[in-house]
């Protein structure tokens, strides 16, 4: 199935190779023509981003190096001061790159020498592209470390060397670039951490590959178009048809979380919101949430939901169109047992967040297997690590692999949060947030996200679409909230207040 219109396709290295092969064999476009356009585009990116001073190209032996040689020629012909350094002997280069070497006017390329990077105004990384596999090996590893240590900014051809174009994983040395000139389409690894941190700005270069290629990408960026899919209130709407969300959570000391989830759901357009929380805390929700209904649930006498509350919870959610389980729930064993009992019994779309996720740790498959309605899990790396019983650092190293694994095991949609929030479907398809809302790095913004997604699902959006619309609206609200005071002054309540603007823009 092709990607929805609101997703901008991203390619894996293998998919890009397949498209190249198709363009060359089926559309009879010559390799040197593709390389020419890639090099010209790269030269354009360099001219725009570094309009003066010496340009030092560092070229490997594959076609990525060939692209660099073309760009070096184009810039020399335009009168720029250009030096070309080769990582491997010229004779080891592929035939297409060698052909380009013959056309290079001016000084001949020289073997790589770290000292030569000192005179660069800008360095162009053409060492490894989509043909790279595994950790950079000698001599590329040393060269990559030297480029990383150099003072001049680096621009990457297609993908920063050392970053896996398919996964964004970085196993060894890699280069932090100010920008990456992505040929044809951006590769997945440019948008997934840690690779994303190395890619810098991504400039797309059209290399003349026609439409209709063989690849059916399974990953893409979430575009603004997803907000056009959000159902809006109209003349025939009622508070119920606008979306009825029920939030189950809260505990002594953690009353802010479900309150923010509720407010976020309302600001994201839900017409009717209920909070089910420990009975002794009812008053604190009642005074804070004027527009929401509050249901006091059985508790342990100390402000923690009790496992005996299953039937009252099921009663509280009976009219809900979507349920959010977990904000402020706490790690109390009784409350965790309640979450495990509740999750399989909710017969509407369910969002599980925060301590609701911790309740599922190690039992994802068993607990969610019986659910007949879609489930969305919204972990950060620490919570995903607990769900899968691996270290959170391991999750951060291979974010795509872990989010896909969790979605496959749980048959749920998994939203792995971060600057590069990844939304994985059980099928393996992944939608990626562009991020760039550092104001969101503050307590409570996760509770806001679960409320927004809850509202989208309650409005009846298909689950992948609803989760992505929630992620996109939340991101944009984070950016809008930062506008008056900068990212450091943002608190989660500002993000909630910015949701209507985010959704209407």
Ligand X SMILES: NC(=O)C1=CN([C@@H]2O[C@H](COP(=O)(O)OP(=O)(O)OC[C@H]3O[C@@H](n4cnc5c(N)ncnc54)[C@H](O)[C@@H]3O)[C@@H](O)[C@H]2O)[C@@H](O)CC1
Ligand Y SMILES: Nc1ncnc2c1ncn2[C@@H]1O[C@H](COP(=O)(O)OP(=O)(O)O)[C@@H](O)[C@H]1O
Residues 117-136, interacting with K ion (CB under 5 A): 125
The site for ligand X, by CB under 6 A, has a size of: 29
Token pair of 397 as six digits: 């190293």
Token pair of 488 as six digits: 């450091």
Interface mask toward ligand Y for 357-396; x: CB under 6 A:
-----------------------x----------------
Nearer to ligand X, 182 or 499 (CB): 182
User: Among all chains, which residue has been given the structure tokens 């048959």?
Assistant: 411
412, 368 contact by CB (below 8 A): yes
181, 41 contact by CB (below 8 A): yes
231, 460 contact by CB (below 8 A): yes
Q: Is 251 in the site for ligand Y (CB under 6 A)?
A: no
Residues 128-147, interacting with ligand X (CB under 6 A): 128-137, 140
Nearer to ligand Y, 55 or 490 (CB): 490
Pick from 7, 10, 11, 34 the residue near ligand X by CB under 6 A: 34
* 418 in a labelled binding site: yes
**Quick one: what does residue 60 bind among ligand Y, K ion, ligand X, none, with the CB cut-off 5 to 8 Å set by partner type?**
ligand X
Cis omega (within 30 of 0) for bond into 139: yes
Other CB atoms within 10 Å distance of the CB of residue 79: 7
Pick from 158, 306, 447, 494 the residue near ligand Y by CB under 6 A: 447
**Quick one: what does residue 419 bind among ligand Y, K ion, ligand X, none, with the CB cut-off 5 to 8 Å set by partner type?**
ligand Y
194: which DSSP letter? T
Strands (E), 11-150: 55-59, 82-86, 110-111, 122-126
Pick from 8, 12, 15, 20 the residue near ligand X by CB under 6 A: 20
Nearer to ligand X, 77 or 133 (CB): 133
Q: Which of 414, 489, 468, 477 is nearest to 445 (CA)?
A: 477
In the chain the first and final C-alpha atoms are separated, in Å, by 29
* Shortest distance (Å) from residue 252 CB to ligand Y: 18
Residue 283 makes CB contacts below 8 A (sequence gap 6+) with none
CA distance 107 to 130: 28
Pick from 72, 157, 480, 502 the residue near K ion by CB under 5 A: 157
Q: Sort residue 301 into left (φ over 0), alpha (ψ -120 to 50) or beta.
A: left
Q: Is 218 in the site for K ion (CB under 5 A)?
A: no
Interface with K ion by CB under 5 A: which residues? 125, 156-157, 161
Could you list the residues known to form a binding site for K(+), using ranges: 64, 125, 161
Interface with ligand X by CB under 6 A: which residues? 20, 31, 34-35, 38, 60-67, 94, 128-137, 140, 157-158, 183, 207
Interface with ligand Y by CB under 6 A: which residues? 354, 380, 417-419, 421, 435, 437-438, 440-441, 443-447, 449
């Amino acid at each position: 199935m092709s990607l929805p219109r609101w997703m901008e396709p991203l390619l894996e290295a293998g998919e890009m190779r397949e498209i190249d092969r198709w363009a060359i064999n089926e559309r009879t476009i010559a390799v040197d023509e593709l390389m020419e356009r890639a090099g010209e585009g790269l030269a354009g990116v360099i001219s725009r981003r570094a309009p003066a001073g010496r340009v030092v190209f560092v070229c490997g032996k594959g076609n990525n190096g060939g692209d660099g040689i073309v760009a070096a020629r184009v810039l020399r012909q335009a009168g720029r001061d250009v030096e070309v350094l080769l990582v491997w002997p010229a004779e080891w280069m592929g035939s297409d790159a060698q052909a380009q070497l013959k056309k290079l006017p001016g000084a001949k390329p020289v073997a790589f020498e770290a000292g030569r990077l000192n005179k660069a105004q800008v360095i162009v990384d053409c060492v490894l592209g989509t043909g790279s596999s595994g950790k950079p090996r000698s001599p590329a590893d040393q060269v990559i470390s030297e480029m990383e240590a150099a003072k001049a900014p680096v621009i990457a051809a297609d993908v920063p060397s050392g970053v896996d174009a398919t996964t964004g994983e970085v196993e060894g040395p890699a280069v932090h670039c100010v920008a990456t000139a992505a040929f044809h389409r951006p590769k997945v690894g440019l948008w997934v951490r840690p690779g994303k941190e190395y890619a810098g700005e991504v400039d797309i270069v059209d290399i003349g590959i026609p439409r209709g290629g063989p690849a059916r990408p399974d990953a893409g960026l979430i575009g603004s178009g997803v907000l056009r899919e959000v159902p809006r209130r109209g003349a025939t709407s009622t508070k119920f048809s606008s979306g009825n969300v029920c939030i189950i959570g809260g505990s002594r000391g953690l009353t802010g979380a479900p309150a923010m989830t509720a407010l976020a759901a309302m600001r994201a357009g839900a017409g009717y919101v209920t909070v089910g929380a420990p009975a002794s805390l009812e008053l604190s929700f009642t005074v804070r949430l004027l527009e929401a209904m509050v249901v006091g649930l059985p508790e342990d006498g100390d402000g923690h939901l009790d496992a005996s509350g299953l039937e009252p919870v099921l009663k509280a959610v009976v009219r809900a169109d979507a349920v959010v389980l977990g904000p402020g729930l706490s790690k109390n064993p009784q409350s965790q047992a309640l979450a495990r009992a509740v999750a399989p019994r909710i017969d509407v779309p369910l969002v599980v967040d925060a301590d609701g996720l911790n309740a599922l740790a190690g039992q994802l498959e068993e607990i969610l297997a019986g659910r007949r309605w879609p489930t969305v899990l919204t972990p950060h790396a620490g919570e995903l690590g607990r769900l899968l019983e691996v270290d959170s650092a391991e999750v951060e190293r291979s974010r795509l692999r872990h989010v896909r694994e969790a979605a496959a095991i749980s048959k749920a949609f998994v939203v792995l949060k971060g600057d590069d929030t990844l939304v994985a479907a059980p099928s393996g398809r992944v939608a990626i947030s562009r991020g760039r809302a550092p104001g969101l790095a503050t307590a409570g913004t996760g509770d806001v996200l679960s409320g927004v997604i809850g509202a989208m699902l309650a409005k009846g959006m298909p689950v992948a679409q609803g989760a992505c619309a929630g992620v996109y609206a939340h991101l944009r609200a984070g950016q809008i909230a930062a506008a008056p005071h900068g990212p450091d002054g943002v608190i989660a309540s500002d993000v909630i207040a910015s949701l209507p603007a985010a959704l209407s823009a």
